[in-house]
Amino acid sequence: MSAAPLAAADLLVVDGVTCRFGGVTAVNEVSFAVARGELFGLIGPNGAGKTTLFNLITGLTAPSGGHLRYRGEDITGLPPHRVAERGIARTFQNVRLFGELSALDNVMIARHVRTRSGLVSGVLGLGAARREEHETRERAAALLALVGLADRPEERARNLAYGDQRRLEIARALALEPELLLLDEPAAGMNAGEKRALSDLIRSVRARLSLTVLLIEHYVPLVMHLCDRIAVLNFGQLIALGPPAEVQKHPAVVEAYLGDST
Amino acid sequence: MASFLATYDFLLVSMVLAAVLALTLYLPLMAGQLSVASPGFYALGGYIAAIMSTRIFPPGPGLYPVSLVLLEMAVAAVVSGVLGLAVGVPALRLRGIFLALATIAFVQILGVVALNLDVTGGAIGIFGIPQPFSSAIQYMWLAVPLLLVSMLFVARLERTRTGRALVALREDELAAASMGINPTYHKVLAFTTSAVLAGAVGAVSAHFINTWNSRQGTFDTSVNLMAFVLVGGSRTFVGPVVGGLVLTALPEALRGIAGVDVLPAWLAAFLRDGRLIIFGILIAIGTVFFPHGLITPGLLRRLGRRGARPG
């Protein structure tokens, strides 16, 4: 694919990004652009390179080639905390909460880049630091309420049910006040009712917080209902990109999912 | 009471200083970093105090002024902090056991340097360090406030933005970084803070022990500190403090038990002479059955709830 067109509305531009692990090319010259406010789905069979792409965007893995631009700024190769500072938050495919800590602490931690208190002012509990601490707690509690965990702020993250852990991860990501939210299989391990509630949640926070969402999901109905556009990866390559209805009928997609029909 | 204090004066002060030193190991551990460098900074702080009090400040009649000890503590803290920063920036790129090994090497290097310099008195070290107090127990006036301030500091730290960032790194460095926490900055911060505290403890200890040489703050101290934290508890600052106090007193307590007449002779001898074996067994049992130490945040919560209930 050629370089992605750079429109003013594009929040994230993935431009010819490649990632090789030894002899394996996990992501191969992938290019696409996510528009501001869009709910963008990323699907593909297992091992297609979806999570690797998330890791590339969030700086956990350095790309072997290509560029990543966020708000027009080159973020290629930035360390994860610098990417997060710029307003990109994520959840993880295999939930990575701070297990020994309370649900509330998990969310409070992610207020880090939106708060300023240093070691000394924090420990001394000076006026500004005290106010900030109070505000952090309030905001974290509000986010717990948003994802339906208001009644269990002190529960240790590892003791929560799997679906609750996934929702807590979303609350933690939102605490960063991101403009771009990356959700890596948020519905995994949820039952049908929880999945419906989750897609309502995603839709509502996106509207309320004017988020742009990049979503990896295996559960096809959720993606089809939720997403404005979908990109399909297979063996590290982008094989289709477009609105759900179009992508669903795309011959390459059908082949990737169902095998060669001829 | 007076006779108890007179008999155990040295032990009591040692216990309190050990508790503070245990906190110096706990600080980097809050961020998940096993560093045993603090005995090195402890040794450095001791040398700074020893050199300042024996060579720089003129000897006067009577007791050595406590204000000068405080000044030495401040200098030791600052110098240790600067060295901590210089060592921490490259060292904290290492992970897990490699960091532990690098910090062991750091302690060894400092020891060898101290052994071979003239200013540190070579193998003999520095002796006749002037005394600010007329009896050992009065060192409590320095040791106890130092412990209380450090405990207060760490207790507060655990409830601040910086402290949460450290704990997040301990729990999951990758997730913490993805939440915007700069791993290197916070690890170096914890390491440097630990160095500052260890340097200050060293300065007090040099006066307290009266002589300072390259056998102070060695790898043996590193192992002791690890025992304090592992047995006491590594998930709340209360653990290392209790570990430091109790394990420092333990050999004396065992000696006391061995003195009871009803014990068979072999057991009494074992309690008296086998305390290193007992120490080792305790560490082994502790790490296997209480991986987070005896005092855990959960235990403190339960105690707090029980205490809060009336009656």
* For chain A, counts of helices (H) and of strands (E): 10, 10
Percent of chain B with pLDDT over 70: 98
pLDDT at B60 over 50: yes
pLDDT of residue B309: 58
Name the residue with higher pLDDT: A195 or A4: A195
Confidence of residue B1 (pLDDT cuts 50, 70, 90): low
Which stretches of chain B sit within 8 Å of chain A by CB?
Answer: 153, 156-157, 159-165, 167-168, 171-172, 174-183, 189, 193, 235
- CB atoms near residue B127 (< 10 Å): 13
Question: Is the reported ipTM for this assembly greater than 0.90?
Answer: yes
Cα–Cα distance, B222 to B226 (Å, whole number): 6
Contacts of B43 (CB under 8 A, 6+ apart): B107, B110, B111, B114, B202, B214, B216, B217, B218
**Residue of A55, A81, A131 best to disrupt the B interface, most CBs of B under 10 A:** A81
pLDDT of residue B308: 63
- DSSP state letter for A112: G
pLDDT of residue A3: 47
Average pLDDT over residues B253-273: 82
Q: What is the CA radius of gyration of chain A?
A: 19
Q: pLDDT digit string (tens) for B250-261?
A: 888 888 888 877
Q: pLDDT digit string (tens) for A32-64?
A: 999 999 999 999 888 899 999 999 999 999 999
Confidence of residue B196 (pLDDT cuts 50, 70, 90): very high
Percent of chain B with pLDDT over 90: 69
Confidence of residue A2 (pLDDT cuts 50, 70, 90): very low
A118 contacts B162? CB cut-off 8 A: yes
B179 contacts A123? CB cut-off 8 A: no
Contacts of B71 (CB under 8 A, 6+ apart): B52
Average pLDDT over residues B12-23: 97
Instruction: Tell how far CA A78 is from the center of its chain.
Output: 17
pLDDT of residue A102: 95
pLDDT at B279 over 80: no
Name the residue with higher pLDDT: A232 or B261: A232
Range in A85-99, A205-219, A245-259 with the lowest mean pLDDT: A245-259
CB of A80 closer than 8 Å to CB of A88: no
Confidence of residue B96 (pLDDT cuts 50, 70, 90): confident
pLDDT at B103 over 70: yes
Contacts of A109 in chain B (CB under 8 A): 164-165, 167-168, 176, 179, 181
pLDDT at B165 over 70: yes
Contacts of A136 in chain B (CB under 8 A): 161
Which stretches of chain A sit within 8 Å of chain B by CB?
Answer: 58, 60, 79-81, 83-85, 89-90, 92, 96-101, 105, 108-113, 115, 117-119, 122-125, 129, 132-133, 136, 172, 175-176
Query: Among partner residues A60, A129, A136, which is closest to B178 by beta-carbon distance?
Result: A60
Query: Among partner residues B161, B172, B174, which is closest to A117 by beta-carbon distance?
Result: B161
Q: pLDDT digit string (tens) for B108-137?
A: 999 999 999 999 999 999 999 999 999 999
pTM listed for this prediction: 0.91
Contacts of B168 in chain A (CB under 8 A): 98, 101, 109, 112
pLDDT of residue B264: 85
